[in-house]
Structure 1
Amino acid sequence: MNIFKSHFWYHKNQRNGIFILIILIVIFQFIIVFVDFSSEEKVDTNSPKIIAFHHQIDSLRKINLENKRLKIFPFNPNYITDYKGAQLGMSLVEIDKLLAFRKTGKFINSEKEFQKVTSISDSLLHSISPYFKFPDWVVKKKQNRQLSTSRDTRLFAKKSKYILTSTDINIAVKDDLKTINGIGEKLSERIIKYRSKLQGFSTPDQLYEVWGLGAEVVVKVLLVFKVVKLPNIQKINVNTVSFKELLKNPYIDYELCKKIFNYKDEVAEMQDISELKNIIGFPLDLYDRIVLYLVAE
């Protein structure tokens, strides 16, 4: 008992202090329970200031939503990835159809062809097709299709008794090409020279790359000549090719050649030719042309 007694032994001043403290606690509890601290003043939510404040909040909210909204920049639909396709609103099935089509080595060159391959809805095509960016040669091809192709091919050929040796653009000789109205000695030589540089035309659209050959003349040529047999192009190994030899690629200039060699120095060896797309500044619109001559082994 002496142990507990020492803890409860207070002199008079201490007992008075404890008593006053208890009274204060009771008073504060009474005030908290029974006194109303709410303000009687009511706020008019329809006042001009409140309405203006809400409008300002709504405007800021709209600006924030606009900033968060996906911004679409022009892109080549042939190189849509899973992530990019999901951002555009494509389903996994539609994306897989596109990727499967691209694995065949073919390319999409129009909005209608994109819809045919992916089976996307008209509304989705309408919303994303304005951002499609196809290579320049595809755009030129579309423009040239606006020319009338219903005319008889004889209207585009010079009146002559000359009989064509072949309608295959990869076999045609100068005299064959000169039957086309608008092609003379120099242009026919230039076409054959460029054909040799390419090791043969892989696609008719490569005719648009011949210097000095106008688009209208190309249309006339393609009404008579076709790529009947694909050329047998000798591909070179990008991992062992020399700088000078790589520069012979008709679609690779000096700057791009340097970029490819710099990239090779970084990775030591390319495992797949598609790694070219990883090079900063690589012209993706020329990828399908460049890889006609390259392989990674």
Structure 2
Amino acid sequence: MKNIRSHFEIHTRFRNGIFLLSMLLFSSVILFYFYPNPRTEEKSFVELTSFQKEVDSLKKIAHKETKIFKIKPFNPNFISDYKGYQLGLSPQELDRLNIYRNEGKWINSVTQFKQVTMVSDSLLSTISPLFRFPDWTTQNKRRKRFNKTYTIKTYSEKQDLNLVTQEQILEKVKVPDFIAQRIINYRNKIGGFIDDIQLQDVSGLYENQRKKLLSFFTVKTPQRIEKQNINNASVNQLIEVPYIDFEVALEIRDYIKNNGSISNFKELGKIKGFSLDKIDRIALYLTLN
């Protein structure tokens, strides 16, 4: 029995070799685990950071383009400073539009927008597809193509413009309901019409609509007023005129004080902030002597 050897028995030299191989493998694993290549990780981190910045930059550009693309159709009569900036309009072009609108006038076509703002053709071609005008302006343009006639009544057949109702205007003239309402509101604001010519001051009322309106109505009971001599009138008396505000009244008094009496209403055009377009209506309230 003593001569039988275990089949697991290994020669001493083999055991030493196996031990050394195990130690070598163990040492390699330890070195690989505790001493990774820092340069590779650092380089990878820098590249990843750079790539992320590029992605973020592209996202910002795409976001801006999306904002521009999402500008919805709008009425060019109501362009705010911010929207004008978005569209690429210059401050001067916006100022021209605001001055035009402050005069109570409306833009009803792309051509008219070009004339008022003097915007460049290239920018106009870009933004004009976004313009949306009220339906009734388009309908009016179509109606102008046809020479529609209507019977003009005599003075006795016409109704009094100072007594007509909104419903009667809508029935006879077929203007938009908000225009008919503006006529009534303006009549109430000035205390009643003095002359048919004052319809020119109703915002949004076109000339063809005004002519048709006057074919059915006219001022028969004009507002009774006492005309004031412009050269002697006080500031309080001047501001009673619907077309003259406090600042303009002060300018008129200063002008007369520095230049003498006014002999022609057209002289008022020399006064800052005064519009000659309404001279004929102002003459309904004032005299020169």
Sort the TM-score into its range (normalised by shorter chain). Answer: 0.3 to 0.5
Question: What is the TM-score of this pair, normalised by structure 1?
Answer: 0.37
